[in-house]
């Protein structure tokens, strides 16, 4: 047992073990520096980029027309070969009565 203890002490003092400890310390410093870099990039580039995108979306929405589009009865649109399995069977799952026309026109409009 004593020989095993001496061998382990000898290995701990070897240049290879010292090199490993130094590389470990350098790697820890590199990890800390990388974390600081990503934190700075998050606050300086990512968050302002998200804010600019949100502002752009808000301004585009303000310019957007909220009028109902004109209904044109194209034969290749709004084809119902069978009924939808929900509701009255004529409206899609995410139906919006203001924007989505039915095969015979918008809801509430008698043309």
How confident is the model over 15-37, as pLDDT tens digits?
Answer: 666 676 666 666 667 778 888 99
Position 88 confidence tier, pLDDT thresholds 50, 70, 90: confident
Classify residue 37: in a domain, yes or no: yes
The percentage of residues in the chain with a pLDDT greater than 70, rounded to a whole number, is 74
Domains in the chain, number: 1
Range of the domain at 35: 14-61
Classify residue 39: in a domain, yes or no: yes
CA 90 – CA 15 distance, rounded (Å): 80
Largest distance between two CA atoms of the chain: 102
């Amino acid at each position: 047992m004593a020989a095993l203890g001496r061998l382990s002490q000898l290995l701990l003092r070897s240049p290879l073990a010292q090199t490993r400890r130094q590389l470990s310390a350098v790697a820890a410093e590199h990890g800390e520096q990388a974390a600081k870099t990503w934190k700075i990039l998050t606050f300086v580039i990512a968050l302002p980029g998200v804010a600019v995108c949100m502002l752009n979306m808000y301004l585009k929405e303000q310019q957007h027309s909220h009028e109902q589009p004109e209904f044109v009865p194209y034969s290749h649109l709004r084809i119902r070969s069978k009924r939808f399995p929900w509701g009255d069977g004529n409206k899609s799952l995410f139906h919006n009565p203001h924007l989505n026309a039915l095969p015979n026109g918008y809801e509430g409009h008698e043309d």
